[in-house]
Structure 1
Amino acid sequence: MSLDENHVRSPCTRVCVIDPLSGYCRGCLRTLDEIVGWGVASPDQRRAILAALEERR
């Protein structure tokens, strides 16, 4: 796998507000745990988070 295939771009939109009812960020729809763990998540874990975001929309 090349370096480009391992790079998964963050879905952050810089609108960092956690909705108190859903627990999701209003900008990117991630949970606080997903946001905090993004930096250490593997590419596969990041892709799984992105797939979950599609279901949350």
Structure 2
Amino acid sequence: MTDRPVWKRKEPSSPCVDICVIHPRERLCTGCLRTIDEITAWARLSEDERQAIMAELPDRAPRLKQRRGGRAARLSRGGGKA
């Protein structure tokens, strides 16, 4: 047995939470809030670039607020056109 340390690969920082669904209107991942372009480029970005994007992510969350029922809810209340 040698005293050499075991080599471990340093993974890039990532906000990924394994919920990979792109919101059709906002074009953001509903899990991590990154854009498709950010997700695609992630491995090539520097750690500083990744940290800058991750700092912006909390401000993007309001863009994905769930609507309060939309057309179906309006119709069930008797409002709006069919």
CA-based RMSD of the aligned residues comes to 1.4
1 or 2 for the larger relative contact order (CA 8 Å, sep ≥6)? 1
Which stretches in structure 1 are left out of the alignment for 5+ residues?
Answer: 1-6
1:26 equivalent in structure 2:
30
Structure 1 segments of 4+ aligned residues over 2 angstroms from their partners: none
Give aligned-pair identity as a percent: 49
Larger Rg: 2
Which stretches in structure 2 are left out of the alignment for 5+ residues?
Answer: 1-10, 62-82
How far residue 56 of structure 1 moved from its aligned partner, in angstroms, is: 0.9
Structure that is richer in helix per residue: 1
